[in-house]
Amino acid sequence: MSFTFSGFHFYLKRDDLLHPQFSGNKARKFRYFLEHDFPGTQMLVGYGSAQANSLYSMAALAALKGWQLRFYVDHLPQWLQAAPAGNYQAALALGAEVIALPAQLRQGLGMGEYLQQQILPCLPGALFIPEGGRCQQAEYGVRQLAQEIGQWATGSGIKGLKVFLPSGTGTTALYLATYFYEQQADIEVLTCAVVGGDDYLQQQFAMLSQTAECYPTLLTPKKKYHFGKLYPEFYRIWQQLCHTGIAFELLYDPLGWLLLLDYKKRHPQQPVLYLHQGGLLGNASMLPRYRRKFGE
Ligand SMILES: Cc1ncc(COP(=O)(O)O)c(C=O)c1O
């Protein structure tokens, strides 16, 4: 579909609407696990934040596969335990087990390392997915997404398309860009670092691929933003986006849209496709925080 925002025309890919429980970015990244058999696997093990979209998506994946989900968090806030909301609440409803494993109990190791060295050997039959789904298996589903975009662009006769999506681990952006690079498609992937800065994102790309020519192009904000912090300009652009009739999420999309509007001002003729990566359940905990801080 296409829509107009702030006076500019954008194409929009609604990955948020893929499936009621299993949509957006994680549906693409976890598709491999959904579509393949894992004989002997009864449990899925993951880690991240107790409010992460990945917690809910892994819970949905586990439920669809008939597995148990064990999700480790550094910290489980008291208020969230007292009044579960958003991704955490939905994951619990799907039977997820969320376990706090604070840094002082991890012998100086990062969560991922600790789980791999100390916990997983005691859990035979467990399948481990790194934080945010940053794994080689993610390429399988993201390639299908890239094929859909490529076919649509060719079918619509769109030349020089830019595909924009905000990045966390950069897994989705990297595998999209890799596909278009391999196909020599006239499509460029633009992204921005929402978690950490540009250097962090480049490091994430390098953990998945050594082929730097296929890395996505980064749009860099003029100001440094911290992941999960509340900024008035994020809330403002999110509210403006609501007026288009399409709901976006509050962690990744606001910075994405701020940078994309800035890009469009500089390249008004460039055809741009925004990838809506879902994650709307997270708004149930983000929106009350924004309202408390900045009002309605
Ligand atoms: C809504 C949304 N947008 C963007 C991202 C970032 O995706 P990636 O880690 O593949 O860069 C995520 C996390 O997976 C997400 O849930």
pLDDT digits (tens, 9 = 90+) for 120-173: 999 999 999 999 899 999 999 999 999 999 999 999 999 999 999 999 999 999
Q: Residue 95: which of 120, 70, 125, 128 has the closest Cα? A: 70
Topology annotation, domain 31-128 = Rossmann fold (3.40.50)
**CB of 254 closer than 6 angstroms to any ligand 1 atom:** no
Chain centroid, CA 192 distance in Å: 12
Give me the pLDDT at residue 199, please.
97
Element (H, E) at 291: helix 283-294
Per the confidence metrics, is the pTM higher than 0.85? yes
Query: What is the per-residue pLDDT for 20?
Result: 77
What would the two tokens of residue 158 be? 């769109």
Helices and strands of the chain, counted as H and E runs: 12, 10
Q: Is 232 helix (H, G, I), strand (E, B) or coil?
A: helix
Q: Do 181 and 214 form a contact (C-beta atoms < 8 A)?
A: yes
Any atom of ligand 1 within 6 Å of the Cβ of 256? no
What confidence score (pLDDT) does residue 295 get?
Answer: 85
At 68, phi and psi to the nearest 5?
Answer: -90, 140
How remote is the CA of residue 122 from the centroid of ligand 1, in Å? Answer: 30
> pLDDT category, 22, cuts 50, 70, 90?
confident
Distance 252 CA to ligand 1 centre (A): 7
What class does CATH assign to 2-22+136-294?
Answer: alpha beta
Residue-wise pLDDT tens digits, 201-252: 999 999 999 999 999 999 999 999 999 999 999 999 999 999 999 999 999 9
Q: Is the CB of 169 under 6 A from ligand 1?
A: yes
Ligand 1 and 22: CB distance under 6 A: no
In 154-288, the DSSP E strands lie at 161-167, 187-193, 217-218, 272-276
Output the CA–CA distances (angstroms, integers) from residue 91 to 56, 58, 279, in the order listed: 5, 8, 13
Q: Fill in the amino acid letter for 246.
A: I
Indicate the average pLDDT of the chain: 95
In this predicted structure, the answer to whether residue 21 has a pLDDT above a threshold of 90 is no
Section 46-52 average pLDDT: 94
| pLDDT of amino acid 277 | 97
- Report the 10 Å Cβ neighbour count for 183: 12
Q: Where in the chain is the domain with CATH 3.40.50.1100?
A: 2-22+136-294, 31-128
Give the number of the atom of ligand 1 that is nearest the alpha carbon of residue 24: 1
**Integer distance in angstroms from the first to the last C-alpha of the chain?**
29
Answer whether 139 contacts ligand 1 (Cβ < 6 A): no
Cβ of 249 below 6 Å from ligand 1: yes
